[in-house]
Amino acid sequence: MAAPQPQSRQSTATLSLLALGVVYGDIGTSPLYAVKETFNPDHGIPLNAANVMGGVSTIFWILMIVVSLKYVTLVLRADNRGEGGIMALLAMATGSVKKHPEWTAPLLVLGVFGASLFYGDAVLTPAISVLSAIEGLEVGTAAFKPYIVPLATGILVALFLIQKQGTGFVGLLFGPVMVLWFISLGVIGAWQIGQHPAILEALNPVHALRFVTGHGFASFVVLGSVLLAITGAEALYADVGHFGKRAVRIAWFGLAAPALVLNYFGQGALLISTPKALENPFYLSYPEWALYPMVVLATIATVIASQATISGAYSMTRQAIQLGYLPRMDIEHTSAKTFGQIYIPAVNWTLLFVVAAAVIGFGSSTRLANAYGVAVMGTMLVTTFLTFFVIRFGWGYPLWLCLLATGFFMAIDLTLFGAALLKIHEGGWFPLALGAIVFLIMATWRRGREILAERLQQDSVPLGPFMKSLLKDPPQRVEGTAVYLTATPDATPQALLHSLKHFQTLHERVVFLTIEFRDVPWVPFEERVICERLGGNCWKVRVRYGFMNRPDITRALDHCGALGLEIDAMQTSYFVSRQRVVPSAGPGGMALWRERIFAAMARNAGNVTDYFNIPTNRVVELGTRVLI
């Protein structure tokens, strides 16, 4: 039994290496801009040894408290059957308060808004990361200045253009490149510390307390820049399902955290000895001969960070679709071996347009930094809030312990979020506007689907009595199997009513198929399909999926044979009702303008046959006009 041990260690080492590339790409590139923005003269805090010591100390303790304690120690425990991310946490939180239904609606609103802000992060991470890396060229010569924005834009455009090809091959390079990146951060940081070892006094939290309390209002303002050091921390939780808690923790404590701390302290040491280095303390930490190689390495590292965020946006969108917050979209699987590698064209091109607009519109990493903090801290704040409900109502911990555990982090998140909000007029409005748009889309789709279901239910015919009446004097039965897709298993599908009206026949085998998406990541095969015999060779089938499962109706129906329902795929027709939504100003609906948005989304929703992997040459689509 001891033989598998080496293999287990190898697996953990491999996963930890991959986690460095995917999980820590974003937070690993924060040294490019975090120190520079923390000591920005516009904050009104003089650049002297005491303040540099205090600023570095603040960055260190924010990293330790928010990343090491909050995320690595607490939030990573709140996984939804192995999966993380704010949508998974939202599903856990709402599931935990079933005995307290008054909390369901507020949690849904907060969770969806937190998820909406994630898309602002998905826009700003590629923009600020790549732009800050390319700005290193200015350190060498000012002649590069006019080409910074066009070059950064070109790199980002190329990155989005290759998304369709998948990230499998490039992904193999992510880990080793980021290992090299973190080693370079640590080595140069240690070298700079050796030049001015007094910077190590910043480990004392007293320096941080003086820095954040000793400069009046400016101390609060500067926190909006200090938080840039923890951007990307949410990825720790979002990607736990891909690598596991152990690998994520080993990667953080084993390399990422030590390298980041050494680099931040090294930049602080440089600023104490050479205040003029504030122009770009990251690149000026390196010897002159290493400048351009580091620009290349930084660019590659920021592309990796951007890729991880883009992939995260795809995963978030897929989860939102299957949880009912977004309409169906075309999802392409770019790997035959790995389900998680997906490509969503609509998300890709929208992100490209907005990212390019952000780079060109803001024009520098300093201006983008003003916008960045709002999206990051908004999502972190919601995560902390949802975690309270999971540990209190889901895990049953005492109230005092839950308040103590999450209240401490909530106070820090609220403080940092408030500091970030001070920069609304300097760019903070941008992620808030993006988040508001995405929130409106999600909320409108969710509510529109509820109203549509209510209208269909009102006009529906109960399935049981209808089938009993129909089978007493059945119409002509024809060969084959008819599968009627229906969202309401107890109501007669409109497609069946239309079929009987126009064709006046009934297939020899009839299946009423309902697809359910549950608020868990995965539904195992043994629990996925439920078959119920109705009589007259008619069946009611329920297929259950988690928000990480890939829907495949053809494969699900193959499992019905073991449950007594034999289906010949070549003799099966699928009947699908397609609703044409008509907005109206009647009671019980949404505002007319929101109903029009919902109708437009419903018209442009992805093809149901492609989404559920139904053979297109076996589908009969029948339209229904629904007034909402």
156 and 113 within one domain = yes
Q: Which of 447, 477, 505 is the last residue in one of the domains?
A: 447
In the block, residue with structure tokens 């889309």: 441
Over its C-alpha atoms, the chain yields an Rg (Å, rounded) of 27
Give 591-613 pLDDT, tens digit per residue.
Answer: 888 888 988 888 888 778 888 88
Q: Which pLDDT value is given to residue 167?
A: 56
431 and 491 within one domain = no
CB 126 within 8 Å of CB 140: no
Q: Which pLDDT value is given to residue 340?
A: 54
C-alpha 152 chain-centroid distance: 24
Give 282-319 pLDDT, tens digit per residue.
Answer: 999 999 888 889 999 999 888 888 887 888 788 888 88
Q: Which of 418, 447, 476 is the last residue in one of the domains?
A: 447
Give 119-149 pLDDT, tens digit per residue.
Answer: 888 888 888 888 888 888 887 777 788 888 9
3-class DSSP assignment, residue 507: strand
C-alpha 192 chain-centroid distance: 37
439 and 510 within one domain = no
Q: Which pLDDT value is given to residue 159?
A: 86
Sheet holding 505-517, edge to edge: 529-535, 538-545, 505-517, 476-485, 572-582, 619-627
479 and 351 within one domain = no
391 and 521 within one domain = no
Helices (H) and strands (E) in the chain, counts: 27, 8
Q: Which of 447, 478, 499 is the last residue in one of the domains?
A: 447
Mean pLDDT of the region 487-502: 83
416 and 519 within one domain = no
Q: Is residue 45 in some structural domain?
A: yes
3-class DSSP assignment, residue 627: strand
pLDDT band at 172 (very low <50, low <70, confident <90, very high): low
Give 260-269 pLDDT, tens digit per residue.
Answer: 999 999 999 9
> At 393, which CATH number?
1.20.1740.10
Give 420-454 pLDDT, tens digit per residue.
Answer: 888 888 888 888 899 899 999 999 999 988 888 88
Q: Is residue 3 in some structural domain?
A: no
Residue 8 clears pLDDT 50, i.e. is over it: no
Q: Which pLDDT value is given to residue 54?
A: 94
Give 329-362 pLDDT, tens digit per residue.
Answer: 888 776 555 545 678 899 999 999 999 999 998 8
Boundaries of domain holding 604: 460-627
Average pLDDT of the chain is 85
Token pair listed for 305: 């960070």
Cα distance between residue 108 and residue 103, in whole Å = 9
479 and 334 within one domain = no
Q: Is residue 2 in some structural domain?
A: no
502 and 443 within one domain = no
- State which H helix or E strand residue 420 sits in: helix 399-421
Mean pLDDT of the region 188-214: 93
pLDDT band at 568 (very low <50, low <70, confident <90, very high): confident
Q: Is residue 452 in some structural domain?
A: no
Q: Which pLDDT value is given to residue 120?
A: 85
What burial class does residue 205 get, using C-beta atoms within 10 Å of its C-beta: 0-12 exposed, 13-18 middle, 19+ buried?
middle
Q: Which pLDDT value is given to residue 7?
A: 35
Give 268-280 pLDDT, tens digit per residue.
Answer: 999 999 999 998 8
Give 70-93 pLDDT, tens digit per residue.
Answer: 888 888 887 776 677 788 888 888
Q: Is residue 365 in some structural domain?
A: yes
| Domain count within the chain | 2
Q: Is residue 386 in some structural domain?
A: yes
Token pair listed for 115: 């998820």
Residue 202 clears pLDDT 90, i.e. is over it: yes
487 and 427 within one domain = no
438 and 540 within one domain = no
Cα distance between residue 92 and residue 518, in whole Å = 11
464 and 543 within one domain = yes
Residue 154 clears pLDDT 60, i.e. is over it: yes
Residue 1 clears pLDDT 50, i.e. is over it: no
Q: Is residue 5 in some structural domain?
A: no
Which of 42-51, 166-175, 187-196, 481-490 is predicted with the least confidence, judged by mean pLDDT? 166-175
Q: Which pLDDT value is given to residue 194?
A: 93
339 and 259 within one domain = yes
Q: Which pLDDT value is given to residue 255?
A: 92
Q: Is residue 59 in some structural domain?
A: yes
pLDDT band at 35 (very low <50, low <70, confident <90, very high): very high
